Structure 1
Amino acid sequence: MTEQKQFVTLGVAESLFAVPVTRVQEILEPQPFARMPRAPMDFLGIIDVRGQSVPVIDLRLRLGMPAAEDTLDTRIIVLDVAIEETMRKVALRADRVFEVAELDGPLEPPTKIGSRWSTDCIAGVGRRNGAFVTVLDLDQLFSQDDVAAGDIAA
């Protein structure tokens, strides 16, 4: 597998994350979504993207961070993600989107600090302008059993 060169960098709380630019379909401003009954806490609902229903996941909650209200910088990133071996559209709500950029050097593997912390959803850690950037493994981020997106985005 060739290493990704360009990433969309985004902020969640005080952390800097990145996703491969090849997986990003579009970046939208916040919009109302249709809530689904009995959905997991991080599943906000569905939005219409060019006539297709797309599930929206709160990236803060998915990563175990506290919830936050939308701001002027909040964005919804529509992505292509492999869920159960099928490519599907899924959207992430992030606090802000910064830029499309190359990282400074190769990715390092995520740090292992014990069995209670899972790094499965982290493709690696890079740097951009001296700051650490956590590159998300989108397929792993959505492979968890509690993802309702797999059923809804079919």
Structure 2
Amino acid sequence: MNQIVQYLTFGVAEDLFAAPVGRVREILDLAPISRLPRSPAELLGMIDVRGASVPVVDARRLLGLEETTDTTNTRIVVLTIMRRSRETVFGLKTDRVFEVTSLDEGALEAPPEIGAGNWNAGAITGIGRRNGAFVTVFDVDRLFDAVDSAQGAIAA
């Protein structure tokens, strides 16, 4: 019997993505973001969430997509992730948030294996379907590796 897992689905450009609900702390309307000097392009800056400083990463930049103008649907999904063996909190700026839904865990397909190159499928847990549309399920712990890599390149 397959375990049913709840996911938060959100959109970036025309694509549908998901993160496990257990990792979602909250969903925020777009708030002013304080920029950080010499930070990687994916890292937009910091926001205040009830007195805590939370770094915000742009999902579009993280996925290598072109930037677009924010809309009334733009949201920041606050996620709990494991980084360097400790729990931390990040915000992920998305174009829109859809719903909390169930995907059959057993029905997730492995990400496609495509030769060597810059494409990193490691940040993807699997590919599911919701109402006939593909849903890319993120491994939220590995999703932010690109930011860590870019920070290392800046420090070097």
| Fold conserved between structures, TM > 0.5 | yes
Which whole-Å CA distance do the structure 1 matches of 2:89 and 2:4 have between them?
Answer: 20
Alignment of 1:133-148 (within 5 A): 133-144=135-146, 145-146=148-149
Structure 1 residues 142 and 4: alpha-carbon distance in aligned structure 2, compared to 1, 3 A threshold: farther
Alignment of 1:9-88 (within 5 A): 9-88=9-88
Which whole-Å CA distance do the structure 1 matches of 2:44 and 2:50 have between them?
Answer: 19
Which whole-Å CA distance do the structure 2 matches of 1:39 and 1:3 have between them?
Answer: 40
Residue ranges of structure 2 left out of the alignment (5+ in a row): 152-156
Amino acid at match of 2:124: I
Amino acid at match of 2:99: E
Which whole-Å CA distance do the structure 2 matches of 1:30 and 1:4 have between them?
Answer: 31
DSSP-derived class of the 1:99 partner: strand
Amino acid at match of 2:55: P
Q: How many residues align?
A: 147
Which whole-Å CA distance do the structure 2 matches of 1:3 and 1:57 have between them?
Answer: 30
Flag the structure with higher helix content: 2
TM-score (norm 2): 0.89
Which whole-Å CA distance do the structure 1 matches of 2:60 and 2:133 have between them?
Answer: 19
**Residue of structure 2 equivalent to 1:7:** 7
Residue ranges of structure 1 left out of the alignment (5+ in a row): 149-154
* Contact residue 4 and residue 20 of structure 1 kept, 8 A: no
Percent same amino acid at aligned positions? 52
* Contact residue 4 and residue 103 of structure 2 kept, 8 A: no
Residue 125 of structure 1, aligned match among 124, 127, 134? 127
* Contact residue 28 and residue 77 of structure 2 kept, 8 A: yes
* Contact residue 28 and residue 77 of structure 1 kept, 8 A: yes
* Contact residue 81 and residue 88 of structure 2 kept, 8 A: yes
Which whole-Å CA distance do the structure 2 matches of 1:4 and 1:59 have between them?
Answer: 26
Amino acid at match of 1:42: E
* Contact residue 47 and residue 53 of structure 2 kept, 8 A: yes
RMSD (CA atoms):
1.6
